Amino acid sequence: MFAMINNAFSIALKEIRRNLTRAFLTVLGIIIGVSSVVTMVTLGEGTTEAVKSQISSLGSNLLMVRPGAGFGPRSRSAGVPDFTEADVDALLRQVPGIAAVAPVRNTSTSAIYRENARMGGVTGTNPGWFEINNWTLESGRFFTDDDLKKGAAVCVIGQTVVDDLFADEDPIGKKIRVGKASVEVIGTLKEKGQVGMGDQDDTLVVPLSTLRRRLLGQTSAHDIGMISISAEDGVDSDWMIENIETVLRERRNLQDNQENDFSVMDTRQIAETLSSSTQVMTTLLATVSGVSLLVGGIGIMNIMLVSVTERTREIGIRLAIGATAKEVLLQFLVEAITLSSVGGAMGIVLALGFCTLLAPMIQVNFIFNTQINIIAFIFSAVVGVVFGFAPARRAASLDPIDALRHE
Amino acid sequence: MNTKSLIHLEGIHKIYGEGDASFEALKGINLDILSGEFVAIMGPSGSGKSTLMNLLGCLDRPSSGSYRYEGIHVESLDKTQRSLLRRYALGFIFQGFNLLARTSAVENVELPLLYRGIGRRKRRQLAREALDSVGLADKERNTPGELSGGQQQRVAIARAMVTQPRTLFADEPTGNLDSKTTDEIMLSLTRLNQEQGITILMVTHEEDVAQFAGRQIHVLDGLIAHDQQNH
Ligand SMILES: Nc1ncnc2c1ncn2[C@@H]1O[C@H](COP(=O)(O)OP(=O)(O)OP(=O)(O)O)[C@@H](O)[C@H]1O
Ligand SMILES: [Mg+2]
């Protein structure tokens, strides 16, 4: 038995060396399949991880209220009114446990300083917003309640905006043109970094009153697209959500039989929503690359079918000379397993190479996932054995003379 | 039945194909070959010589009839047992050579030794000697594609002889050879027959090649027409 296995190995390796092109093509199919599966799943996981870590950097006791049911990417249904400033005040007064609340109105416009210009979002809010979103200052100051009351022409900017508008200059005290208004930069924010869902530092904040008076003009009392709330430590967020909902339902005149026309979410729920959507993406990528693994397998099958005549004759010769069907099959099995494991291993190495290269480019961490590597490797071995071994089984069951006559 | 009978055929039929397309290549062959004989099988093209040789060499199975090799009922053996019979007792030289492609001459000759479990060194040495005896010592590294038809045939002969099988089946072993090489091959076959006592069955079209054998069998249309001893 040992001698038989030993023999099968030496014959199989000889056959591989003798037909390097065939071996190369077989291995190539597996390499492509395995490397794409491993790359996609690894990067997908990295993305999920990045999103999660970013969400936890938002702070654990943050709540967001938005008009419209559902909390997907802007799933605001038509006709649902935004919030008013009175809603915000009511929440602060009536809901216990609120540490800070900030109305948020967003718009998008140009910002110009001398010859530098950019297009981007502008946020109008109150001073509590900085605390709620965990911002710290790089230089200058935040705007104050006084600024808010007066509608002062001031703004605070993130590092991306600093880089866009001010080359080497100190931004503090400089006047920039935002839309049609001229505002003074009074503070810059410390960098938060660019993780997962977009650039946090691409931020330009003005007092809400300034946004209304100087930039947009107020058309309706219902102009607040989002309310950010931070809860005091130790407050149960489900309880808080319930209270917020009660207050808002009353203020929005909803009957008992009507659904909420707004939604409240805390950071945990946001995290779940976002990571479940990235998981969907990962699954999708895995499916796509699973298909490419299958295509690789079909490629292998093709090569095997093309060479089946020659291989059937080879089997006929070996049988005629006194090899048993079992010995021949063992040889083919060893060949198939060798090629597909070499292919699988090379695919994994290639994938890890891709990942180390690509992960920094798309700004995710490279997380080595043992499981997917093992799965891809086993799958490649199975593919190789099934497609490489099946034709040999048929040939080895023939009488030698029939195998020799095969054409 | 003769006690020394090595091969005993009784009522062997071979039908290729099925139904209307079927063709009866052997129509009832009865034959006894004694151990140590050197037999030439002759006959026109298509008469069934190769068909008969394939059956004798256990490469194919008859449609009906019985074949006993050394008293063993070959039809009762399973595939593995027939493989082992071929491995340890039989040698076969094919009309169409059947060498492994892209494989050097010496490795082709080594192949049957490998399945017999003979060590690498010994294998190489025996294979070289066999190649030498057919005059191909300088071509051992060449693959079949790099050899002439006659050279390929000689590699096939060396491969069949290298194991010193009890019985050697040769289907037109000199079909592609010039008369000088033919004589050399026939001399080494004769030597195997006389010195090692190897039984040889050889198909040939050439009368002077058949003269090396001690017995001539003529096949005609799937039947044995003559069977005579040489003098
Ligand atoms: N696989 C096959 N299927 C159908 N018919 C076959 C097959 N093999 C051989 N035959 C037929 O059987 C007959 C005998 O063939 P065989 O090869 O035994 O002839 P042969 O005597 O060896 O001829 P040659 O001297 O040309 O080699 C031929 O008529 C051939 O057409
Ligand atoms: Mg023939």
A246 with A160, same domain: the answer is yes
DSSP A123: E
A72 within some domain? no
pLDDT at A74 over 60: no
A361 touches chain B (CB under 8 A): no
Do A229 and A317 have their domain in common?
Answer: no
> Residues A20, A167: one domain?
no
* B39 vs B226: CA distance, rounded Å: 13
- Regarding whether A327 and A198 lie in a shared domain, the answer is no
User: In residues, how long is chain A?
Assistant: 407
Q: Which of A252-261, A357-366, B138-147 has the lowest mean pLDDT?
A: A357-366
| Shared domain check, A276 and A300 | yes
Which of A207, A236, A260 represents a domain boundary (last residue)? A260
- Tens of pLDDT, residue by residue over A4-21, are 788 888 888 888 888 888
Q: How confident is the model at residue B2 (pLDDT cuts 50, 70, 90)?
A: very low
Three-class SS of residue B6? strand
Q: What is the pLDDT, as a whole number, of residue B1?
A: 44
Q: Looking at the complex, report in whole angstroms how far the Cα of residue B230 sits from the nearest Cα belonging to chain A.
A: 31
Burial of A85 (0-12, 13-18, 19+ CB in 10 A): middle
Question: What domains sit in chain B, N to C, each tagged with a CATH number?
Answer: 5-229 (3.40.50.300)
Range with the lowest mean pLDDT among A181-185, A315-319, B3-7, B167-171?
B3-7
Partner-chain residue, chosen from A7, A313, A399, that has the shortest CB–CB distance to B59: A399
Structure confidence at residue A194 (pLDDT): 58
* Distances from the Cα of B207 to the Cα of A369, B41, B42, B50, B103, angstroms: 75, 11, 9, 18, 34
A73 lies in some domain = no
- Nearest residue of chain A to residue B88 (CA atoms): A322
At residue A78, the pLDDT reads 63
Q: Which ligand is nearest to the CA of B93?
A: 2
Asked which of A228, A260, A292 is the last residue of a domain, the reply is A260
Spatial CA neighbour of A309 closest among A317, A297, A299: A317
What mean pLDDT do residues A96-123 have?
A: 91
Could you identify the residue written with the tokens 């090899």? A323
A233 and A117 within one domain: yes
Distances (CA, A) of B63 to A103, A364, B16, B155: 95, 71, 9, 32
CA of B46 to the centre of ligand 2 (A): 7
Q: What is the pLDDT of residue A334?
A: 87
Tokens of A343: 């292919």
What is the interface pTM, i.e. ipTM, of the complex? 0.95
Query: pLDDT per residue over B20-33, tens digit each?
Result: 889 999 999 999 99
**From B50, B54, B219, mutation site for ligand 1 pocket: most ligand atoms within 8 A of C-beta:** B50
CB A88 within 8 A of CB A227: yes
State whether B99 and A322 contact (CB < 8 Å): no
Phi and psi for A137 in degrees, rounded to 5? -85, 140
What domain range is A86 assigned to?
81-260
Which residues 295-314 on chain A approach chain B with CB closer than 8 angstroms?
A: 310, 313-314
The answer to whether residue A133 is domain-embedded is yes
| A147 within some domain | yes
Subunit contact A323:B99, Cβ cutoff 8 A? no
The answer as to whether A75 is a domain residue is no
Q: Mark yes or no for CB contact A318/B59 under 8 Å.
A: no
CB environment A21-43: b (16+ within 10 A), e (fewer): ebbebbbbbbbbbbbbbbbbbbb
Residue A71 has pLDDT above 90, yes or no: no
Separation in Å, CA A161 to CA A119, A156, A189, A261, A402: 10, 10, 10, 35, 78
Give yes or no: residues A234 and A94 share one domain: yes
pLDDT in tens, A202-217: 899 999 999 998 888 7
- CB contact under 8 Å between A18 and B102, yes or no, is yes
Total domains in chain A come to 2
Ligand 1 neighbours by CB, cut-off 6 Å:
A 405; B 16-17, 23, 25, 43, 45-51, 95
Q: Are residues A133 and A31 in the same domain?
A: no
Q: What is the pLDDT, as a whole number, of residue A197?
A: 56
Structure letter (DSSP) for residue B80: H
Does A327 contact B115 at a Cβ distance shorter than 8 Å? yes
Least confident among A38-47, A170-179, B192-201: A38-47
Q: What 3-state class would DSSP assign to A185?
A: strand
Better-scored residue on pLDDT, A28 or A177: A177
What pLDDT was estimated at residue B212? 93
Same domain, A108 and A254: yes
**Distance, in angstroms, between A30 CA and closest chain B CA?**
25
* DSSP structure class, residue A191: P
Tokens of A254: 């909803």
Last residue of a domain, which of A260, A282, A312?
A: A260
Shared-domain flag, residues A292 and A322: yes
| Residue-by-residue DSSP string for B176-226 | T--HHHHHHHHHHHHHHHHHS--EEEEE-S-HHHHTTSSEEEEEETTEEEE
Flag whether A60 is in a domain: no
For residue range A147-189, what is the model confidence (pLDDT) as tens digits?
A: 999 999 999 999 999 999 998 899 999 999 999 899 999 999 9
Nearest by CB to A321, from B107, B112, B117: name it: B112
User: CA of B96: which chain A residue's CA is closest?
Assistant: A404
Domain co-membership, A354 together with A248: no
Considering the domain architecture, whether residues A279 and A256 belong to the same structural domain is answered as: no
Q: Is residue A367 part of a domain?
A: yes
CA distances from A258 to A69, A166, A249, A254 (A): 12, 51, 9, 6
A19, A322, A401: residue with CB nearest B83: A322
C-alpha A160 – ligand 1 centre gap (Å) = 86
CB contact under 8 A, B60 and A399: yes
The Å distance, Cα B65 to ligand 2 centre, comes to 21
